[in-house]
Amino acid sequence: VAVTVAGRFGRSLLELGGNNAILVNADADLDMVVQSAVFACAGTAGQRCTSTRRLVLHSSVHDQVVSRLGKALESLMAKAGDPVEQGVLYGPLHSPASVEKYESAVARAQAEGGQIVFGGKRIARLSSSGGYFVEPTLITGLKPDSPLVQEETFAPIVYALKCDSLDEAIRINNSVKQGLSSSLFTRDLSNLFRWIGPRGSDCGLVNVNIPTSGAEIGGAFGGEKHTGGGRESGSDAWKQYMRRSTCTINYGKDLPLAQGIKFE
C-alpha cells in the first residue's frame, strides 16, 4: 500500500502491528510490573496491536518477576470464559487459525530450548464446547535475537528475556523490525529521561510505569519502522486527511522584498 501510494506522492497511514516490550529495571516497582504484564500480555487474549510480546528483565529481578507473573497468569484462569459474562476477564482467540498459530509458536519455542513457566495449551474446560480458548503463556530461555522472539505472534504469548543494564534492555527493545509500543519500569529519573530521549526507545509509543496497551486514547497513536508510520488520534489526527498551506498576505500599498531589495 505504501509503495503504491508513494507512486503518486500521496500519504499513507499504516498500522502493521508491533512486537512490544516491557522493560523492567532493577529499581522497578515489581507489584506494578506484574499487574501491568498480566494486563498487557493476557488482556484481550493477547490480540491487541499493543499487547506485550517481550519482557526484558534485569537479571537481578528476572527470577522474581517470572515466578510472580507465572502465578498471576495461573490465577487468571479462574476468570476465563465468555467475555460477555459478568466477572470474566479472559476470553478466547478469534478463530481456529489463531489457535493454530498459538500452538505453532509454543512448539517452536520448545524446540529452540524455551521453557514454559505457565500455559502452552488449550483450556480444556472451555475448548471442549468448541471455543478457541488457550492459556496465556510465559516462556523463558530464548535469546532476544531468536527468530521466534523477533516476530509478532498475535496470541497471549510473552517471552521473558534477561539483561544486565538499561542500555542492553534498550538495544533489545529496538532490535525488532516493528516499533509500536514500549514501556520502562523504573523509579530513577535519569533512566526515565534516557528512555524517552533520542537514545531510548525507537517506538511511536514510549511509556513509563504503565503497560504497553490501554493508555493510547487521546494521544497521537502510531508506530515507527515496520509498524508503518503515520499517526491517528490526538494532536495529529487531522494531518493525514488535510493538506497544509503557508499563506503570506500583503494588504498594504508597498511591496516589501526579502533581503531589503529595492528597485529604485
Question: In this predicted model, what pLDDT tens digit does every residue of 111-162 receive, in sequence order?
Answer: 999 999 999 999 999 988 889 999 999 999 999 999 999 999 999 999 999 9
Eight-state DSSP code of residue 43: G
Active site residue 15: yes
The lowest-confidence range among 115-119, 183-187, 245-249 is 245-249
- Rounded percentage of the chain residues whose pLDDT exceeds 90: 81
In whole numbers, what is the pLDDT of the chain averaged over residues? Answer: 95
Q: Which of 15, 74, 112, 232 is catalytic?
A: 15
How many helices (DSSP H) and strands (DSSP E) are in the chain? Answer: 8, 9
**Residue 216: pLDDT above 80?**
no
DSSP class per residue in 140-161: ES--TT-HHHHS--SSSEEEEE
Question: In this predicted model, what pLDDT tens digit does every residue of 39-55 receive, in sequence order?
Answer: 999 999 999 999 999 99
Euclidean distance between CA atoms 94 and 47, whole angstroms: 8
- Rounded percentage of the chain residues whose pLDDT exceeds 70: 99
Type of residue numbered 14: L
pLDDT bin (cut points 50, 70, 90) of residue 56 is: very high
Residue ranges in 8-95 assigned as alpha helix (H): 30-42, 62-76
Higher-confidence residue of 61 and 259: namely 61
Look-up: residue for cell 516497582?
Answer: 29
DSSP class per residue in 168-194: HHHHHHHTSSEESEEEEE-S-HHHHHH
Q: Which pLDDT belongs to residue 232? A: 86
**Residue 215: pLDDT above 70?**
no
Phi, psi for 162 (deg, rounded to 5): -95, 150
- CATH superfamily of domain region 17-215: Aldehyde Dehydrogenase; Chain A, domain 2 (3.40.309.10)
- Tell me the range of 7-11, 13-17, 105-109, 223-227 where mean pLDDT is highest: 105-109
Which of 53, 91, 3 lies closest to 176 in space, CA to CA?
Answer: 53
pLDDT bin (cut points 50, 70, 90) of residue 60 is: very high
Q: Which pLDDT belongs to residue 67? A: 99
